[in-house]
Amino acid sequence: MSSTMVVVKGFPQAPSPFRLASAIRLTLRRGTGSAGSTRGIAERSCMSETNRTGQAAAMFRRRTLLGAAAAGGAALVAAPFAGSKARASSGTVNVFAWGDYVQTFNEGGLAKKFTDQTGIQVQLSTYGSNDELENKLRASGGKGFDIVFPSVDTGPNYYKDGLLAPIDETKFKVEQVIPSIYKSSVRLGATHRGKRHLIPFDWGTEAITWDSEKHPDLKYGELSYGDMWKEGLTKQVAMRQKSVLVGLALYLDSTGEVKSDRGMDLVKSEADSRRVFSEVTDWAIARKPIICAYWNNATEATSAFTDAGCTIGQTWDTTGILLNRNNGSKWRYSMPKEGGLAWTDTIGIPAGAENVEQAYAFIDFMLSPEAGGIFSNNTGYNSCAVGADQHLSEENKAAFAMAYPDQAAIDNLWWWPPQTPFFAALRTEYVEKFTNA
Amino acid sequence: MRKLFQKLGIVPATIACFLAAFWVLGLIVLPQATMIERSLWWEEQPADAQDAVQKLDQAWIRQAELSLEDPSPERDTELAAVEAEIQRLETLDTAPVRAWGLTNYVRMSGLHLRIFLWTLAASLAVTLIAFVVCYPVAWAVATAGPGLRGPILLMGLIVPYAVNELLRIFAWLILLDREGVVNTLLQALGMPGVPFVETGSGVFITMVYTYVLFMVFPMLNSMETLDRSQVEAARDLGASIPQIHRRVVIPHSRPGIAIGCIMVFMLAAGSYAVPWIMSRGVGGDWFTQLVYRQFYEANQWNVGAAYAVTLLIACLAFVLLVMKVMRVSLREIAR
């Protein structure tokens, strides 16, 4: 039963009380312009119902009334909830984080440590994918949260709509971030028009998780994305559509079947991207019977192996590493020779953040060596904090050695390039084509 | 209006007005109006403007990279060149233009249209299955003695529905999963497993189960008002059981059946959680998932809004169709 509960927690639609409250606060604020005259509008629209007959109602009058009604609408809708929750006090920071980070805040004790050190309360809400984070922020106009953790390559999607505030580099300890990562994040999308918006927080990969009892011949060095598409794997493979097509593009580029400049054509131009996606998708559709389950977040990825019976798949590191740690050492996770898909998650401050000072205090805390170590130990992801490696558990070091057996595994990583404007819509188109083929 | 105020007094009448306005605006007008408004426009950016924006982004990234490097004559010249390029690009007008029209409604691809039609057909099938399942149940409850009716209703129908919908869906996932309870039992009995989740049949089963109650109660309501002596009279005149139902019970309970069908169809066509959880995406998409994806993954909110409005129109068409087929008027339904 406990596994069911976890799944429910990961369900993106589940409304958390906090999220609801913040939505209400937003509606209220939007409506304040006409809140004073709420009652007047209510009466007027009531009257328009009954006095309709015998009115030589000019078109324009009705339109004014409609306009006023619409304007008052937001206030009216929100009015019954007024006063149900006071504004967030100055001693809180509203954190919107990945579902797979929750454990490190709660059981890992990071939230409590932060509160003990600074007196600031942490209000935690979660999301399961970059798209979810992006569109929740877009829906609220960048309000409601003080800290978010987008992947660095999705930065351009936020910049386009002005959803993130520029980072003031004098307000937090820049030296706490590993300098080479801080610098290279520029090329991956952390800055916009010369201003930094995202601070690297952790990095990890999406590569291959497999059951070494069912697939004894797989090992690092020869491991390839192609191993997931071999014949005879009927209903064995777990994947996330939108990234498996990218892994496959890398494989087909290396075999020469579909040339894509090691995947870079996917973001180069719409025409190039369409060519690669289309050929890769057709290749994948021809081998569709291998699919066992799709996943969209870390919880689903784990249950694809534990509940749905998959034996190999493309997953985030947290899934493979935690399976290996908790469900038996037969589960392995490592980099294919084409290079693991590497991501960097960053900390950003939304444009509408209310508790900016607290947000910077939170950033300083999260990038301290100790917090970085706790984070890594709990999630299996790698902290970008200087000195976090001093706090790693033996378990975590072993997991790292399994995932990246040598320096070449790291040098060979494929870092997600910054997304270009056409990318999201185009990728969704091919994901749907693949899913429904 | 004046009558209302005279009848209720100023304060209660004002409250009634306020609540009515809240209902009409908040629950009907505002959500639909925003959706329709959004579905009617889109943003256009000429290809060369898109190109310029991309170049500008690249130039800024190069600029940021260069300014982090140690100064050297080569770096300084390149930095100056990049900054000049940035200045040139920033003078170009690249702002997207908002265009109005019905384009979002006609952009549905062949694949999406197929899924749309399939979703409607599947919802119809769910409605029919729910009707077939519910009719005997409703009739049994309606004709059960007073001592029996309470327990049947409570234990059989109300208690299961007090459980949260999501939990019930997950319960079915546990039952029907590839290594779930049903398949384990089947295998223990030496029979081959059934791929409920992979084929999408799990979605059907769960949906019928989840929305059955919305069919039972309206039918029950109208069956209860049937005068029992009519059934007896029919029987005395020699009508068989199917004839009694066809000629007496069903015609009488038309409004209940219509409401039940409308509710189940609307819930099925608009359900997101059931197809999403019960198919793990492997059993193919429902139209609601496409709508979700237009908003949450493809970043095309305007197209998503058009899809949502299209679904709404299809559902309204279904309501009118059912009313026509069952020959019931709005007034009968409201009763």
Confidence band of A158 (pLDDT split at 50, 70, 90): very high
Q: Do A436 and B111 touch (CB under 8 A)?
A: yes
Q: Residue A72 pLDDT more than 70?
A: no
pLDDT tens digit sequence for A363-394: 999 999 999 999 999 988 999 999 999 999 99
Mean pLDDT taken over chain A: 83
- Among the partner-chain residues A41, A186, A300, the one whose CB lies closest to the CB of B65 is A186
The yes-or-no verdict on residue A39 having pLDDT over 70 is no
Residue A9 has pLDDT above 60, yes or no: no
Show residues of chain B in contact with A76, CB under 8 Å.
Answer: 18, 21-22, 25-26
Q: Answer yes or no: is pLDDT of A330 > 70.
A: yes
Q: What is the pLDDT averaged over residues A105-115? A: 92
Complex prediction ipTM: 0.77
pTM of the model: 0.77
Q: Which residue has the higher pLDDT, B322 or A42?
A: B322
Contact B64 A191 (CB under 8 A): yes
Contact with chain B for residue A82, Cβ under 8 A: no
User: Has residue A202 got a pLDDT over 90?
Assistant: yes
Share of chain A above pLDDT 70, in %: 79
Separation in Å, CA of B237 to nearest CA in chain A: 53
* Of residues A27 and A236, more confidently modeled: A236
With CB atoms and an 8 Å threshold, state whether A73 touches B61.
Answer: no
Inter-chain CB proximity B1 and A47 less than 8 Å:
yes
Instruction: Give the A window 271-310 contacts with B, CB below 8 Å.
Output: 291-294, 296, 300, 304, 307-309
Q: Quick: pLDDT tens for B158-172.
A: 787 788 888 989 999
pLDDT band at A34 (very low <50, low <70, confident <90, very high): very low
Provide the residue ranges of all domains of chain B, joining segments of one domain with +. 1-29, 45-100, 107-334
CATH number of B107-334: 1.10.3720.10
Indicate the residue of A69, A194, A293 with minimum beta-carbon distance to B60: A194
Q: What is the pLDDT of residues A168-186, one digit of tens each?
A: 999 999 999 999 999 889 9
What's the 3-state SS for chain B?
CHHHHHHHCHHHHHHHHHHHHHHHHHHHHHHHHHHHHHHCEEEECCHHHHHHHHHHHHHHHHHHHHHHCCCCHHHHHHHHHHHHHHHHHHCCCCCCEEEECCHHHHCCCHHHHHHHHHHHHHHHHHHHHHHHHHHHHHHHHHHCCHHHHHHHHHHHHHHHHHCCHHHHHHHHHHHHCCCCHHHHHHHHCCCCCCCHHHHCHHHHHHHHHHHHHHHHHHHHHHHHCCCHHHHHHHHHCCCCHHHHHHHHHHHHCHHHHHHHHHHHHHHHHCCCHHHHHHHCCCCCCCHHHHHHHHHHCCCCHHHHHHHHHHHHHHHHHHHHHHHHHCCCCHHHHHC
Render pLDDT for A261-271 as a digit per residue (tens, 0 to 9).
999 999 988 99
Q: Is pLDDT at A29 greater than 60 in this prediction?
A: no
Query: Which H or E run contains A179?
Result: helix A179-185
Interface of B with A in 206-265 (CB under 8 A): none
The answer to whether residues A323 and A305 touch, using CB atoms and an 8 Å cutoff, is yes
Positions of chain B with pLDDT lower than 50, given as ranges:
none
pLDDT level of residue A46 (50, 70, 90 thresholds): very low
